[in-house]
Amino acid sequence: MKVPLNVPGDLFTAVCLRGADTLINDATEPRISARLPRWYVEGVNAPSFLLLPLQMKGQPFALIYADQAVPGGIVVDDKAPGLLRTLRNQAVMAFRQAG
């Protein structure tokens, strides 16, 4: 995926720019589906997905993405948010060390 960072109202753009870990349980909800970019709807269109943006110095440079084929298909228990943040942070550190 290549997420353009200059599209107002686009959910992926907003998540990447804010650096906000985001779980969408049901992308078929009208308020969510209205913010999905066309490239996503035409290419992937998963009803449940997780976005973990990677940033360095406040600038997005990558995105960890996971999805499921059913609404509510991604279940995050009490321990998962911390583990997901650790995964993201380890990926950022790897990119930082790579130069």
**Residue 83: predicted pLDDT:** 93
Q: Which one, of 25, 49, 48, 36, lies nearest residue 3 by Cα?
A: 36
- Domain, as residue range, for 89: 11-98
Q: In this predicted structure, what is the pLDDT of residue 99? A: 72
Beta strand pairing call for 48-56 and 59-68 = antiparallel
Please give the tally of structural domains in the chain: 1
Classify residue 45: in a domain, yes or no.
yes
Asked if residue 33 belongs to a domain, the reply is: yes
Does residue 89 fall inside a structural domain?
yes
Which CATH number is 67's domain given? 3.30.450.40
Per-residue pLDDT of the chain (99 residues; tens, 9 = 90+): 899 999 999 999 999 999 999 999 999 999 999 999 999 999 999 999 999 999 999 999 999 999 999 999 999 888 998 999 999 999 999 999 987
Residue 98: its pLDDT value, please? 87
Q: What is the amino acid identity at position 38? A: R
pTM, two decimals, is 0.90
